[in-house]
Amino acid sequence: MTAPDPWTVPGAAVEVLESQRDLDLTAALRGVRCLAVVVHGVHDRARSTAEAEELAALLPAASLHWADCGHTPVYEAPAVVATAVRDVLARLSPPTTPAR
- The pLDDT, as a whole number, for residue 20 is 79
Q: How confident is the model at residue 43 (pLDDT cuts 50, 70, 90)?
A: very high
Beta bridge partners of 62: 36
Beta bridge partners of 39: 65
Q: Is the pLDDT of residue 64 over 90?
A: yes
Q: What angle do CA 62, 67, 71 make, to 5 degrees?
A: 90
SS3 assignment, position 13: helix
Q: What's this model's pTM, rounded to 2 decimal places?
A: 0.74
Alpha-carbon span 73 to 47, nearest angstrom: 12
Alpha-carbon span 26 to 22, nearest angstrom: 12
SS3 assignment, position 8: coil
Residue partners of 32: CB distance under 8 A and separation at least 6: 59, 60, 61
- Higher-pLDDT residue of 42, 14: 42
